[in-house]
Amino acid sequence: MSATGSYNFQLAKWLDEKLKPLSLNTYSITDIFTFADEITNMKFNESDLLVSYDVTLLFTNVPLDETIIIIADKAFTDDWFNKQHGLIITRSDLTELLQLATKRQPL
């Protein structure tokens, strides 16, 4: 179900923008075009097997409370969240915002 236009859509969008850097690493690919570019430039042996997993539908199985705690812990390591974005909020404020954006979705 799309949450576009719901009371917390803009909050979720804002949080996604601010927290996205925490999820990026050398193993992340942001879109299908980047993936296509990367595999085009790779060298494979004939015996290699390339496997791609689409995990989009697995997000319903993510333990939300634990995930929120992990995100808040990571965001407040060395006060990264506030320093990165010029904000002054607490870890508990961020936790509450994440709960509002994820657990309190309208039906």
B/e letters for 16-30, b = 16+ CB within 10 Å, e = fewer, are eebbeeeeeeeeeee
Distance CA 84, CA 86 (A): 6
Model confidence, pTM: 0.70
- d(C-alpha 82, C-alpha 79), whole Å: 6
Average pLDDT, stretch 23-29?
80
List, in order, residues 6 or more apart from 17 with CB less than 8 Å away.
Answer: none
Please report, in angstroms and rounded to a whole number, the separation of the first and last CA atoms in the chain.
9
- Asked if residue 106 has pLDDT above 60, the reply is no
Residue 59 CB coordination number (10 Å)? 9
Asked if the model's pLDDT at residue 3 lies above 70, the reply is: no
Query: For 52-76, how does the pLDDT look when each residue is reduced to its tens digit (9 = 90+)?
Result: 766 666 566 778 899 999 999 999 9
Among candidate residues 92, 103, 72, the one with its CA nearest the CA of residue 3: 103
